[in-house]
Amino acid sequence: MDFILEGFIQALNLLVGGNPETYSAIWATVKVSSYSIAASLIIGIPLGFCLGYFDFTGKKPLRTVVDTLMALPTVFIGLLIYALLTHRGPLGNLGLLFTLPGIAAGQTILALPIVIGLSATAVESMDQKLRITIMSMGANRRQLFISSLWETRHGILAGAIAAYGRVMTEVGISMMVGGNIKWHTRTITTAIALETNKGQFGMGVALGLVLLGIAFCVNLTLSLLRRRY
Amino acid sequence: MSQPIYDIKSLEHSYGDKTVVAIEQLSVQPGSIVGVIGPNGSGKSSLLRLLGLIEKPSRGTIFFNGRVVEPFSDEARFLITLLPQEPFLMKRSVFNNVSYGLKLRGNGQDVAARVDQALALVGLPSKDFARRPWYALSGGEAQRVALAARLALKPRVLLLDEPTASVDAASAQLIREASLRARRQWGATLIVASHDWQWLYEICDEILHIFRGKIFGSGRETIIFGPWQQFATGKWGKVLSDGQQLLVPAPPGQNAAAVIDGLSASDDGSTVSGDTVVLNGIVSRLSLERKTGQLFATILVGDLPFTVGLPLKQGRADNIFPGEKIFLRYRHDQIKWL
């Protein structure tokens, strides 16, 4: 048990003392997860809205595919992105392998089905009376879309939080696409995996605490926003 | 007569293979109050949604002020508004709910004043209610806020779908008064679907009786639903809860609905001819149609309500008052099958 306690003490020293290696991993994580969540929300919310709102042929099979993709294994996405971005792959000339944007691309694929699926669920559970209300007030098509989206904001927000949680805590994509390069593509989760292998519990615990802290801050901010709007 | 505000031609609307509205022709005059009555599932709400341009009809055309309109038509979307049956507010404050439609119209300047006026019309003081969130209202208050959101728009057409069905008596009274003010103050056309026959008879210029999506009368008819049985005598009919036999001509199907138009009521119970059926009932309610000065009596025979129209003079002469026994009379040829 002592080594866990020592780990906690060492973690606090690393965080309070501003250990550059620790903060490099924190910064990389914040940066890459922000990119990926932003991209997945921009692409996923309109797609999720359309999937939930409109009735079209093949909607049910498509919904099943999206729901299945919500459980995509991160190592599989990592493998896929690696294959695409490696110099022999079709997107090799982009030079994204072992870079933060490369990890962000993989994490976007991870988050996208979650954002689409949960947005679609939020829109599907939208009261039919909402549409009648908005239209009866004189809305045009664009206003109907925007107002409906705004009314389902709490459900969509829940989807965004779930996606952010998945992106923040994944290891497979960051490890395979990023390569866990110190000062460069090492994220909190890959650092924890590495440090634990080396027996360095202190840094692992410190980074774990930071991960929890970031998740807490994000949820607190969103919860405050939700109460206000 | 001025140009109708609504003119409907061969309108038909279906959900899957079920036709919910089938109206060959209907005109509504501007500034009039039209009542729509009919049993649950008869197509009242569907008709209002079509007139409110919420749904596109499966077939047929709706002319509004002489122009063909459909959902999102720029010619009509700012002029028509519908208040649905169940109160529904968007997830925002009372002020933002009531001002929503004004903002859609780009009326940014006098929004606060118009919201205050609209809330006052439905008896909700702005200082007490404007800042309240949507979830901090009772059902009656929510329905009044929803009506205020429509009244703030000063619509040319106000469609009300059973506006008082799910609210208490006090809220119902305020909703009725506020709706009528829309016609008095800016000449709005009101189309009201309601089960409150008494109210409709009092306020409406015209009443439409709708059943299975079709308009078949002016609301003075009595609809009687099957199942029908054939008695040992060979005659068709049904036994009412008090044991009397309601006789009808042979129905087209065992569950067909019969409409009896032109029932007569008097204190004379003698049978005139073999084709005339006389039933013994009790007057349960009287309504006055203001426009014609005619009385409408609801007469219970067993548990079945019948509607009878009769001149005011006859009502007085025959002592037709609630609680009085009365005889209803109809001939077989007065029965139509739906």
Residue where one domain finishes, among candidates B217, B235, B256: B217
User: Contact B237/B245 with Cβ under 8 angstroms?
Assistant: yes
- Which tokens hold the place of B85? 């049956």
Residues B203 and B320 in one domain: no
User: Contact B244/B302 with Cβ under 8 angstroms?
Assistant: yes
Q: What is the pLDDT of residue A126?
A: 85
Is the backbone peptide bond immediately before B57 cis, with ω within 30 degrees of 0? no
Residue type, A39: A
Residues B263 and B175 in one domain: no
Q: Give which of A127, A130, A132 to mutate to test B binding, by max B Cβ within 10 Å.
A: A132
CA distance B181 to B122: 10
In order of A57, A65, A160, B305, the CA distances from A45 in angstroms are 21, 17, 9, 54
B1 domain residue, yes or no = no
Nearest C-alpha in A relative to B55? A132
B150 near A CB under 8 A: yes
Query: Min CA distance, B166 vs chain A (Å)?
Result: 15
Q: ipTM for the complex? A: 0.80
B18 has which bridge partners?
B15
Residues B25 and B124 in one domain: yes
- Residues near B156 by Cβ (< 8 Å), separated by ≥ 6? B5, B30, B79, B80, B188, B189
CA distance B164 to B143: 9
Residues B333 and B199 in one domain: no
A5 near B CB under 8 A: no
Residue where one domain finishes, among candidates B217, B238, B262: B217
Tell me B175's DSSP state: H
pLDDT digits (tens, 9 = 90+) for B196-233: 877 888 888 888 989 889 888 776 778 888 889 988 88
CA distance B192 to B197: 11
Please answer yes or no on whether A137 and B52 come within 8 Å at the CB atom: no
- Nearest CB neighbour to A130, from listed B71, B88, B146: B88
Residues B188 and B261 in one domain: no
Q: What is the pLDDT of residue A25?
A: 92
Please answer yes or no on whether B77 and A143 come within 8 Å at the CB atom: no
Q: What is the pLDDT of residue B227?
A: 87
Please tell me the pTM assigned to this model.
0.76
User: Contact A121/A158 with Cβ under 8 angstroms?
Assistant: no
Please answer yes or no on whether B153 and A127 come within 8 Å at the CB atom: no
User: Contact A48/A115 with Cβ under 8 angstroms?
Assistant: yes
- Which tokens hold the place of B144? 């009044």
Q: Give which of B54, B98, B134, B191 to mutate to test A binding, by max A Cβ within 10 Å.
A: B54
Below-50 pLDDT ranges, chain A: none
Residues B115 and B245 in one domain: no
CA distance B23 to B58: 12
In order of A131, B95, B101, the CA distances from B112 in angstroms are 25, 8, 13
Residues B160 and B280 in one domain: no
Residues of A in contact with B70 (CB under 8 A): none
CA distance A74 to A179: 14
- Chain A segment 95-154 residues within 8 A of B by beta carbon are 127, 129-141, 143, 147, 151, 153-154
User: Contact B206/B35 with Cβ under 8 angstroms?
Assistant: yes
Please answer yes or no on whether B82 and A136 come within 8 Å at the CB atom: yes
- Which tokens hold the place of A212? 């929890």
Residues B263 and B188 in one domain: no
Please answer yes or no on whether A127 and B91 come within 8 Å at the CB atom: no
Residue where one domain finishes, among candidates B189, B217, B245: B217
Burial of B158 per CB tally in 10 Å (0-12, 13-18, 19+):
buried
Residues B162 and B176 in one domain: yes
Report domain A22-228's class. Answer: mainly alpha
Nearest C-alpha in A relative to B93? A229
Q: What is the DSSP string of chain A?
A: -HHHHHHHHHHHHHHHTT-HHHHHHHHHHHHHHHHHHHHHHHHHHHHHHHHHH---TTHHHHHHHHHHHTT--HHHHHHHHHHHHSTTSTTGGG--TTSHHHHHHHHHHHHHHHHHHHHHHHHHTS-HHHHHHHHHTT--HHHHHHHHHHHTHHHHHHHHHHHHHHHHH--HHIIIIITT-TTTT--HHHHHHHHHHHT-HHHHHHHHHHHHHHHHHHHHHHHHHHHH-
Q: What is the pLDDT of residue B100?
A: 95
Residues of A in contact with B163 (CB under 8 A): none
Residues of B in contact with A134 (CB under 8 A): 90
Q: What is the pLDDT of residue B273?
A: 65
User: Contact B154/B187 with Cβ under 8 angstroms?
Assistant: no
Give the residue numbers spanning the domain of B283.
Answer: 222-337
Domain count for chain B, please give it: 2
Please answer yes or no on whether B90 and A143 come within 8 Å at the CB atom: no
Nearest C-alpha in A relative to B96? A229
Q: What is the pLDDT of residue A215?
A: 87
Residues B167 and B238 in one domain: no
A219 near B CB under 8 A: no
Residues of B in contact with A135 (CB under 8 A): 52-54, 71-72, 77
Please answer yes or no on whether B84 and A129 come within 8 Å at the CB atom: yes
Q: What is the pLDDT of residue A1?
A: 63
pLDDT tens track of chain B, all 338 residues? 678 999 999 999 999 889 999 999 999 999 999 999 888 888 999 999 999 999 999 999 999 999 999 999 998 999 999 999 887 899 899 999 999 999 998 876 789 999 999 999 999 999 999 999 999 999 889 999 999 999 999 999 999 999 888 788 888 888 889 999 999 999 999 999 998 877 888 888 888 989 889 888 776 778 888 889 988 888 888 888 888 888 888 888 888 888 887 788 877 767 666 678 888 889 888 887 777 778 888 888 888 888 888 787 777 777 778 888 888 888 888 888 87
HEC per residue, A29-80:
HHHHHHHHHHHHHHHHHHHHHHHHHCCCCCHHHHHHHHHHHCCCCHHHHHHH
Q: What is the pLDDT of residue B1?
A: 62
Residues of B in contact with A130 (CB under 8 A): 88, 90
Residue type, B168: D
CATH of the domain at B90: 3.40.50.300
Residues B211 and B229 in one domain: no
Nearest C-alpha in A relative to B101? A137
Residues B37 and B84 in one domain: yes
Closest by CA to A48, choosing from A111, A123, A158, is: A123
Sign of the alpha-carbon torsion through B50, B13, B11, B47: negative
The CA-to-CA distance between both ends of chain A, in Å, stands at 46
Query: Min CA distance, B90 vs chain A (Å)?
Result: 7
CATH of the domain at B280: 2.40.50.100
Please answer yes or no on whether A133 and B71 come within 8 Å at the CB atom: no
Tell me the domain boundaries of chain A: 22-228
B32 domain residue, yes or no = yes
Q: What is the pLDDT of residue B260?
A: 85
Q: Residues, chain A, total?
A: 229
Please answer yes or no on whether B81 and A147 come within 8 Å at the CB atom: no
Residues of B in contact with A143 (CB under 8 A): 104
